[in-house]
Structure 1
Amino acid sequence: MKIPSGNYFIKMFLLEIQGKFTKYIAVLSRTDRSVLGGVAFEQLE
């Protein structure tokens, strides 16, 4: 049994996530990349 509106809700959900992810990237680009890189490098070790 297929629900016609199912795909619509999934698309809207993915678009909302994509929008938040894009905003997150924009915030990261404003901050100091070297500081973020140092933190990430420390967590890897």
Structure 2
Amino acid sequence: MKQITAVVRPGKLDAVKAALVAIDVVGMTINDVRGFGRQKGQV
């Protein structure tokens, strides 16, 4: 068994889920996360 952790943009989530289902991945956990880096939230 392997665990894979990925950070995926919300707009790409449906495509990633479809691709995983296509290769018979049967389970996943999705968390909505927020954070900031060096820009301190300034974009």
Report the TM range for the smaller structure's normalisation: 0.3 to 0.5
Q: Which has the higher contact order (CA 8 A, sep 6+)?
A: 2
Q: Normalised by the size of structure 2, how large is the TM-score?
A: 0.34
Give the number of the structure whose alpha-carbon radius of gyration is greater: 1
Q: Normalised by the size of structure 1, how large is the TM-score?
A: 0.33
More helix by share: 1
